[in-house]
Structure 1
Amino acid sequence: MLLRADAVDSLPILPRVELKGSLEPVVKPPVSEEWRGELYLEDHRGVFTSHSKMKLLNRRAELALREAETWATFAGTYDGERFSSLWKILLKNQFHDVLPGSSIREVYSEAYPELEKVISEAEEIAEEAMCKIAGKGRTTLVFNSLPWEREDYVVLNRQVDGSQRVPEGFLIRVRTLSAGYAPLNKAQTTQVKILEEDDSYIVENRFFKARIGKNGRLLSVFDKEAGREVLKSPGNRLVAYENIPGWADAWNIEKGYRETCFEISSSKSMVVCKGPLMASVCFTYPFRRSEIKQEIRVYSDSRRIDFKTTVNMKDRELLVKAWFDLDLNAEKAVSDTPFGVIERPTTRNTSWEKAKYEVAIQKMIDLSEHNYGVALLNDGKYGVSAEGSSIGLSITRTPVFPDPSTDLEETVFTYSIYPHVGDWKEAGVLRRAYELNVPLRVVEGKKGSKSFLKIDSGNLMLEAVKKSEEGDDVVLRLYEFWNARGKARVKLSFNVKSVESVDILESNSVERDISISRTALDFTYRNREIITLKIRR
């Protein structure tokens, strides 16, 4: 390397090369121009969707490790070497071209089992930690790793008072603590009702009245609280596009992909659940040699409508999207990114806007007016189109190069629409997206309850609770996503001796005002900041 550096330095047409020690100060060159916003690549839009199972395993591995680290930290069972090993497997499989879905078949024959092992081990770690926290006993305890109190649905393996039989077990709505646990406590509920008509189903809860056609289309969603219709035209339109971009098959979605397409309709439907907590209808969509099944679920006390989807793709060179045309006047879409959110225009006024016919998201995308909006949530998809007031979620792609078996395996995932009063901030849309991705967990143990952590600011998200890289400190990693600055308070379950604000590598201090009051700490934050706090107890 040193000889090559000397050779490069001697060539007059190349930049000068100067080798210095790492301890010398780095002189930053003056900035003449600055780019603020998204660096959107007008290419390779297909990698957000190619290889559905890879995308699904990636999401579940990330969240399983988050869950395991959280409970292991609170339980005192955190094994740094084991977590490091699991994270390295996940990160290796996020490398180009693995996560993008543009690798050869042999890569996924190794990647899938590796990620499944990561998920299995992480769930085992979390289960062991929760059992240690719960202690020995026969009380059913509900655990919640998210830093706010939740009223949500959980599935049990046995029937209890107030539960409903569903395909996975027994569904019940419960109340539990912020980043903690509490005994199974049935929350107060209303009822959801379903009525079958000749060509449609009418499903109604306390928030809205929905009409679902027997072809699988969402014909109407009338928001009773807001007094308005959610849809401009039938929603949940499944559209298949013939997409053959040439050599970059797995990488690209053609600009003119909409020119050759067909809509997919359900051939049969049946009511699965009739309430009182959940009503659902199952639809079967056969097309060519492929098949999609969906169970559309409406809950008694939730604004969320879930589309639990099972995809079996045999046909090649297709892109399938689920479209929702919303009755909104929206000129921008908000979606989450790692450690933040991004706003993008939904207009098509310039060549730059027209190029963004497929963009990347994480768990949600939202279109909002001043006081109303609709979010599309998901638990394992990353590609979407947002045009005007329409959202099209990409649910599968089947390129033949470099892997002709792309998406031949069955995948099961859920996407949801979430109509809400107020804009995305007031409605807590990012929290609702996390709730879809991070379900409540159930463990048997000693009767009791405890909240380990609570954050008083709705614009901060807790992304990680872990043991410090060096020492036995507790590390909290949060991020600000409203583009706001202010002061926040975190309440903990233990006395705090000291707190240090550090960078994401936990190597250098970051200036921040912090004060401690026994089990609580107050700290300042800035707009869209990633905050890492190292806490000594």
Structure 2
Amino acid sequence: MNRKMEYLYRRAEWFAVMKALIVGGDLKAARQEKLTEGWKLLLTNQFHDIIPGSSIFEVYQDCQKDYALIEEIGKEVEADFLSCAEKKEQVYTVINDSGFAMDGMVLLPEKEGTCARLGDGRALPVQRTAQGLLAMVEAVPPMGWVQVTVGKEQGEACENVFRADKRSFETPYYLLELNDYGQIARLYDREAGREVLPPGQRANVLQVFEDKPLNNDA
């Protein structure tokens, strides 16, 4: 939870700075006093006995309350930035808060959309789902973003390169077969052109061992 909150506050600080720039460079808009309040509480809960789990029970009762407040502050600062962003129908901003370019799947809550494009007009691979339009976005710049616009024009259909039934899965990279117990009876690597499992061997085998330590407690 502590590391999760560190990531939240790193992102919230970035959002807060962008909010200040959007409103003309007003540093008060960065909500630094709220972030400082949350950071102090977060750092307090980095005491060496809390994170590894060696504190007394009452300490964890208190830290759960602290984390709830820490998260509330961080999300409040994030929401403050998002509320000032320009809003357009069927236009979404995909944000990458990491330090390197990212590829990833993005679920766009557009049940009527059939295609998605970047700002330069490039079409993205998409798939319709019950929850919306699933789009593959590539090379979102580090500490940056791209805008995706959803439309209704007919896109080019992609070939389905995956095959599956109850006992086998086929992809461009692997051929996998299961036995009656759900274990992997065959795994063929198409790129390497070879069987991964030795003849007669299985993978995904659940094994249970009885552990009776005699000399050590860990």
Fold match by TM threshold 0.5: yes
Does residue 88 of structure 2 align to residue 137 of structure 1?
Answer: yes
TM-score, normalized by length of structure 2? 0.63
SS in 1 for 2:129: strand
- Partner residue in 2 for 1:174: 137
Which of 112, 126, 149 in structure 1 is aligned with 2:78? 126
C-alpha offsets along residues 427-477 of structure 1, whole Å, 9 cap, x if unaligned? xxxxxxxxxxxxxxxxxxxxxxxxxxxxxxxxxxxxxxxxxxxxxxxxxxx
Question: What is the rounded CA distance, in whole Å, between the counterparts of 2:41 and 2:212 in structure 1?
Answer: 32
Which of 57, 64, 71 in structure 1 is aligned with 2:15? 71
Which of 174, 187, 196 in structure 2 is aligned with 1:208? 174
Structure 1 residue 142, shift from structure 2 partner = 1.3
- Partner residue in 2 for 1:91: 43
Question: What is the rounded CA distance, in whole Å, between the counterparts of 2:88 and 2:169 in structure 1?
Answer: 40
Question: What is the rounded CA distance, in whole Å, between the counterparts of 1:125 and 1:236 in structure 2?
Answer: 47
Question: What is the rounded CA distance, in whole Å, between the counterparts of 1:120 and 1:238 in structure 2?
Answer: 43
Question: What is the rounded CA distance, in whole Å, between the counterparts of 1:206 and 1:239 in structure 2?
Answer: 34
Report if the CA contact (8 A) 2:92-2:149 is conserved.
no
Report if the CA contact (8 A) 1:243-1:253 is conserved.
no
Alpha-carbon RMSD across the aligned residues, in angstroms, is 3.8
Report if the CA contact (8 A) 2:183-2:203 is conserved.
yes
Report if the CA contact (8 A) 1:217-1:236 is conserved.
yes
SS in 2 for 1:155: strand
SS in 2 for 1:94: coil
Question: What is the rounded CA distance, in whole Å, between the counterparts of 2:16 and 2:65 in structure 1?
Answer: 24
| CA 1:100–1:82: 2 relative to 1, 3 Å | same
| CA 1:244–1:203: 2 relative to 1, 3 Å | same
TM-score, normalized by length of structure 1? 0.29
- Partner residue in 2 for 1:51: none
Does residue 129 of structure 2 align to residue 165 of structure 1?
Answer: yes
Amino acid at match of 1:84: T
Structure 1 residue 143, shift from structure 2 partner = 1.3
Q: After superposition, where does 1:446-485 map in structure 2 within 5 Å?
A: none
Amino acid at match of 1:67: R
| CA 1:164–1:80: 2 relative to 1, 3 Å | same
Structure 1 residue 113, shift from structure 2 partner = 3.5
Structure 1 residue 96, shift from structure 2 partner = 2.8
C-alpha offsets along residues 296-337 of structure 1, whole Å, 9 cap, x if unaligned? xxxxxxxxxxxxxxxxxxxxxxxxxxxxxxxxxxxxxxxxxx
Structure 1 residue 152, shift from structure 2 partner = 0.9
Worse-superposed segment, 120-129 or 168-177: 168-177
| CA 1:184–1:114: 2 relative to 1, 3 Å | same
| CA 1:80–1:163: 2 relative to 1, 3 Å | same
SS in 2 for 1:163: strand
Question: What is the rounded CA distance, in whole Å, between the counterparts of 2:83 and 2:205 in structure 1?
Answer: 41
Does residue 113 of structure 2 align to residue 147 of structure 1?
Answer: no
SS in 2 for 1:184: strand
Report if the CA contact (8 A) 1:146-1:179 is conserved.
yes
Q: After superposition, where does 1:168-317 map in structure 2 within 5 Å?
A: 171-175=134-138, 176-184=140-148, 191=160, 193-197=162-166, 200=167, 202-211=168-177, 215=181, 217=183, 222-227=188-193, 234-235=203-204, 237=206, 254=218
Report if the CA contact (8 A) 1:219-1:234 is conserved.
yes
Report if the CA contact (8 A) 2:176-2:188 is conserved.
yes
Question: What is the rounded CA distance, in whole Å, between the counterparts of 1:170 and 1:242 in structure 2?
Answer: 48
Segments of 5+ residues of structure 1 without an aligned counterpart are 1-56, 247-251, 255-537
Question: What is the rounded CA distance, in whole Å, between the counterparts of 2:205 and 2:68 in structure 1?
Answer: 30
Question: What is the rounded CA distance, in whole Å, between the counterparts of 2:13 and 2:159 in structure 1?
Answer: 36
| CA 1:61–1:195: 2 relative to 1, 3 Å | same
| CA 1:253–1:237: 2 relative to 1, 3 Å | farther
Report if the CA contact (8 A) 1:210-1:222 is conserved.
yes
Structure 1 residue 153, shift from structure 2 partner = 0.6
Q: Higher RCO, 1 or 2 (CA under 8 Å, sep at least 6)?
A: 1
Question: What is the rounded CA distance, in whole Å, between the counterparts of 1:181 and 1:151 in structure 2?
Answer: 12
Does residue 6 of structure 2 align to residue 62 of structure 1?
Answer: yes
Structure 1 residue 223, shift from structure 2 partner = 4.0
Amino acid at match of 2:165: E
Segments of 5+ residues of structure 2 without an aligned counterpart are 21-28, 115-125, 151-155
Question: What is the rounded CA distance, in whole Å, between the counterparts of 1:177 and 1:85 in structure 2?
Answer: 31
Amino acid at match of 1:203: F
| CA 1:193–1:99: 2 relative to 1, 3 Å | same
Identity of aligned residues (%): 26
Which of 86, 108, 114 in structure 1 is aligned with 2:66? 114
- Partner residue in 2 for 1:384: none
Report if the CA contact (8 A) 2:162-2:172 is conserved.
no
User: Higher strand proportion, which one?
Assistant: 1
Structure 1 residue 244, shift from structure 2 partner = 7.3
Question: What is the rounded CA distance, in whole Å, between the counterparts of 2:204 and 2:66 in structure 1?
Answer: 37
SS in 2 for 1:75: helix
Structure 1 residue 228, shift from structure 2 partner = 5.2
SS in 2 for 1:135: coil
Question: What is the rounded CA distance, in whole Å, between the counterparts of 1:78 and 1:154 in structure 2?
Answer: 28
C-alpha offsets along residues 495-527 of structure 1, whole Å, 9 cap, x if unaligned? xxxxxxxxxxxxxxxxxxxxxxxxxxxxxxxxx
Structure 1 residue 144, shift from structure 2 partner = 1.4
Aligned length: 187
User: Higher helix proportion, which one?
Assistant: 2
